[in-house]
Structures are given as structure tokens and as C-alpha cells.
Amino acid sequence: MIDKIYLGIGSNLGNRLTNLKFAVEEINKNEKCRVLKSSAVYETTPYGEVQQDNFYNAIIEIETALGFFDLFRLLKSIERRAGRNEEPKVKWGPRELDIDIIFYNEFIYDGELLSIPHKEYNKRDFVLTPLLELAQEFKHPVLKKKLRDIKYEDVERHIVSKVNESLL
């Protein structure tokens, strides 16, 4: 295992907590991945303008020997196995499971399907709050500052409550 990665996970269809635990279990089943830590789980209002149920969101820290694009493909396959169907595609719509790469070490990549670091992590409290639980000392690869030292502005508030459940 050579890399540490921070993943955002969320669910608002079906049993939200079970879906998040499924993500952790499936990542751990891969011989090249291991979940190291999990933030608290937060209940959050939906992002965007689609009317839908509240989400459960968390951040997990993993290490992996997979390259970033192989990891991306693994995460998409886990989403599909959880029941996520890309058709019809509604941006920020309801989903059984959503897994986003927030940081992949200090790697920077901007492609059509994937951007690392995640472009809007700092605008969403349901990503930022649990991320800071786990990674205050992590150095942002673009800003070259520890996450705890960055001034976060224009953060949308979506957290309703902390859920008293563990993913590990």
C-alpha cells in the first residue's frame, strides 16, 4: 500500500447507512485497498435544486496501490453494485451511493470524467466538515497549505445532524 486517499461517500436512496457501510466493505475487499479511518456520518440536505430526500455523508481515508484512474473505475463499479443507475442522469439527483475522490495524495489531475482534487469540496460543508475531522494536517496540493490553515469562504450549509453510527 503506497497512497492515502480521501473519499467522500453519500447516499439518499434505500438504507443510507447500509449503503455507506457497503462502500467501506467493498473497498476493503479489494486486495490493493484498505480503509484506514472514517469521519462521523452526517445527515445533510441535498445539494442542488432537485427535490429529494436527505443524504447521509461521510469521508473515509484509504490507502491503495491502485493508480487514480483504476481507483476511479473501482469506485464506479461499487456504486453500480449498490444499485446506482446512471440513466436517466440527473445532476445531483438521488442515488443509492456516490463515491468521490476528494484528494489522492498531493496528485493534481483535471480530466473530462475526473478532477483531483475535487473541484468543489471546499464549497460543501458535508464534505469539508468530515474531511477536517480526518485530515487537518493534509497539505492541499494546489494551495500548498494544510487544510486547517485554509480560509474557507462561501461554504453552503447542508448538515442537519451528526448520526451516531460508525462505518468501521
3-11/41-44 β-pairing: unpaired
| Residue 92 belongs to some domain of the structure | yes
Number of domains making up the chain: 1
CATH number at residue 157: 3.30.70.560
Q: Dihedral (C-alpha) 113, 114, 115, 119: value to the nearest 10 degrees?
A: 80
Per-residue pLDDT band at 88 (split at 50, 70, 90): very low
| Residue 168 belongs to some domain of the structure | no
Give 110-131 pLDDT, tens digit per residue. 998 899 999 889 999 999 999 9
**What sign does the dihedral 45-96-5-116 (CA atoms) show?**
negative
Mean pLDDT of 4-13: 94
Residue range(s) defining the domain that contains residue 45: 3-163
